[in-house]
Amino acid sequence: MSGRPYILAETNWESLKNAAFEVAVLPWGATEAHNFHLPYATDNIEADALAAEAARQAWEKGGKVVVLPTIPYGVNTGQPDIYLDINLNPSTQMSILSDVITVLNRQGIHKLVIFNSHGGNDFKPLVRELGLKFPEMFICISFWPQTMDRAKFFQEGGDHAEEMETSLLLHLRPELVLPREKWGDGSSKSFKIKAFSEGWVWAERKWSQVSADTGIGNPKYATREKGEAFFMAVSEKMGQLFLELCKADIDDLYT
């Protein structure tokens, strides 16, 4: 028995001493309440599983991709009063990223995908700054919930512990999902000032004032089958991206 060769945490020095990966994938989640019924590690479970399946598909087509261990804490600055939501400040994320990229850059893995699994993580300004600091690196950010038209898979919208996330967890870790009668309805409040819902002005939401059960979006139509279908669709699309990045020449990216 040996581990999957594209999952760093499962492989070994015997396999890696002469390895040469093209692309590193860094999944990044969060540790936070997900309505009443989903585990605090929901974003990490999703990131682990999706990144691994996407990497498997790319690997089997010849892509030299390696998935790094998932960073389990994310930005939860809007939830200081929600018990044991563990916040990592953006400045801490900058330090972690900078250290990880220093290793990759030194060792000649010049393509990095930050595989984001949590809406509060905002890597764009960090990646702009890191791009200046590490000019040989190509750093990109993917946010998997945006890969597909979710309306083709799910009836209800939302963005936290909703029908989509509940379906995914029913597929990935059903033993960690509380029974249906425990599920909150995920109803949430919006800003009274209309400009915020129009999207041209933004402020962080004070989560505990917006949602009573911490969810945003009703999970009631969630099923394992929907979760499996969405999981397969997202991982296939991500796997294709990983493969294309493996083959890409980062000095010749534009057409």
What span, in angstroms and rounded, lies between the C-alpha atoms of 234 and 50? Answer: 7
Nearer to Zn ion, 63 or 145 (CB): 145
Interhelix angle 163-172/224-247, rounded to 10 degrees, is: 90
* Shortest Cβ 43–Zn ion spacing (Å): 4
Residues 6+ apart with CB under 8 A from 109: 21, 22, 23, 24, 66
If the CB atoms of residues 42 and 167 are measured against Zn ion, the closer one turns out to be 42
Are 28 and 70 a contacting pair, CB within 8 Å? yes
Query: What crossing angle do the helices spanning 224-247 and 42-60 adopt, rounded to 10°?
Result: 50
Q: Does 43 bind Zn ion (CB under 5 A)?
A: yes
**Alpha-carbon radius of gyration of the chain:** 19
Comparing CB distances to Zn ion, the nearer of 43 and 163 is: 43
Binding residue count for Zn ion, defined by CB under 5 A = 2
* Coil, strand or helix at 88: coil
Pick the stretch among 20-28, 37-45, 52-60, 226-234 that binds Zn ion (CB under 5 A): 37-45
CB of 248 to Zn ion, least distance (A): 30
Concatenated DSSP letters of 119-154: TT---HHHHHHHHHH-TT-EEEEEEGGGSS-GGGT-
Q: Specify the residue, 65 or 114, whose C-beta has the smaller distance to Zn ion.
A: 114
Which residue, 110 or 173, has its beta carbon nearer to Zn ion?
173
Calculate the alpha carbon distances from 190 to 113, 195, 241 in Å. 33, 11, 35
Please state the closest distance from residue 17 (CB atom) to Zn ion, in A.
37
Q: 101 to each of 59, 70, 109, how far by Cα in Å?
A: 22, 15, 9
CB of residue 83 to Zn ion, shortest distance in Å: 17
Distance CA 13, CA 243 (A): 24
> Which listed range, 10-18, 41-49, 83-91, 124-132, lies at the site for Zn ion (CB under 5 A)?
41-49
Of 5-13, 34-42, 172-180, 242-250, the window that binds Zn ion (rule: CB under 5 A) is 34-42
Residue 85 within binding range of Zn ion, rule CB under 5 A: no
Is 163 among the residues that bind Zn ion (CB under 5 A)?
no
Q: Which stretch binds Zn ion (CB under 5 A): 38-46, 69-77, 148-156, 180-188?
A: 38-46
- Name the minimum Å distance from CB 186 to Zn ion: 12
Residues at the site binding Zn ion, with contacts judged by CB under 5 A: 42-43
